[in-house]
């Protein structure tokens, strides 16, 4: 079974684009869909196996070698800090991690937000950001609807991912600072990258060509 390349794919917004991109370089299998009941799908002919995983679990599958490679947002990579090899910036799924406050509570400078509570799905990234600024905050980890934090009085601020900023406006929140921009990345297990180097290196080069063509 060692000749297989196992790929962890994230359910959600990155899934369809990931599947289409991999298919362009010959990595595909029947019924690889986001709503598939089968969570492991193999192509015997091309020796490819897909694991369809929850987004936050993809780096773990790759780090521990259950998958050779995976596709995941840079935001998740930075938050989890897993021991994986980042092979390629795939360029899609662009979003930003930012800090926002209720529109009525904007302040003159960033240090004016010290000693407040922050709601976020990204506690490690938020902590690193505020530490860098020298701002003391209390960070509250939430798993969904981060915008609710200030509305219900759980927090004064949020640190969250935005794509268009529409949800912020709808909830009367104002962006105060952009922390980083994230896109989808191709990552690899360290041992797999050495043991299956020729095949993985070719995959990266083939993807690079396809991405360059799409950019033209």
Strands 157-162, 116-120: pairing is: parallel
- What's the whole-number mean pLDDT along residues 13-27? 94
The answer, yes or no, to whether residue 1 has pLDDT greater than 60, is no
The answer, yes or no, to whether residue 216 has pLDDT greater than 70, is no
4: buried, middle or exposed (CB in 10 Å: 19+, 13-18, 0-12)?
A: middle
CA distances from 72 to 56, 102, 114 (A): 8, 30, 32
Q: For 144-201, write each residue's pLDDT tens digit.
A: 899 999 999 999 999 999 988 888 999 999 999 999 999 999 999 999 999 999 999 9
The answer, yes or no, to whether residue 34 has pLDDT greater than 80, is no
What residue ranges do the domains of the chain occupy? 5-93+183-215, 95-181
Instruction: For domain 95-181, give the fold.
Output: D-Maltodextrin-Binding Protein; domain 2 (3.40.190)
- Percentage of the chain with pLDDT > 90? 84
Task: Note whether 5-93+183-215 and 95-181 share their fold.
Answer: yes
Chain mean pLDDT for the chain:
93
Helix (H) or strand (E) holding 13: none
Instruction: For domain 5-93+183-215, give the fold.
Output: D-Maltodextrin-Binding Protein; domain 2 (3.40.190)
């Amino acid at each position: 079974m060692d000749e297989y390349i196992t790929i962890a794919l994230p359910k959600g917004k990155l899934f369809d684009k990931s599947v289409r991109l991999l298919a362009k370089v010959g990595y595909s299998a029947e019924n690889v869909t986001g709503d598939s009941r089968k969570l492991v799908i193999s192509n015997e002919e091309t020796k490819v196996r897909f694991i369809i995983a929850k987004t936050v679990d993809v780096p773990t599958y790759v780090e521990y070698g259950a998958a050779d490679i995976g596709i995941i947002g840079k935001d998740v990579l930075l938050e989890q800090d897993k021991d994986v090899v980042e092979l390629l910036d795939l360029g899609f799924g662009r979003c930003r991690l930012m800090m926002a406050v209720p529109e009525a509570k904007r302040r003159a400078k960033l240090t004016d937000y010290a000693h407040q509570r922050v709601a976020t799905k990204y506690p490690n990234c938020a902590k690193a950001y505020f530490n860098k600024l020298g701002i003391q905050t209390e960070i509250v980890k939430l798993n969904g609807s981060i915008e609710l934090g200030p509305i219900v009085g759980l927090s004064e601020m949020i640190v969250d991912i935005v794509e268009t900023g529409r949800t912020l406006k709808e909830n009367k929140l104002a962006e105060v600072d952009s922390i980083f921009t994230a896109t989808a990345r191709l990552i690899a297990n360290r041992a797999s990258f050495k043991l299956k180097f020729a095949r993985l290196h070719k995959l990266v080069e083939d993807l690079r060509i396809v991405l360059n063509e799409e950019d033209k």
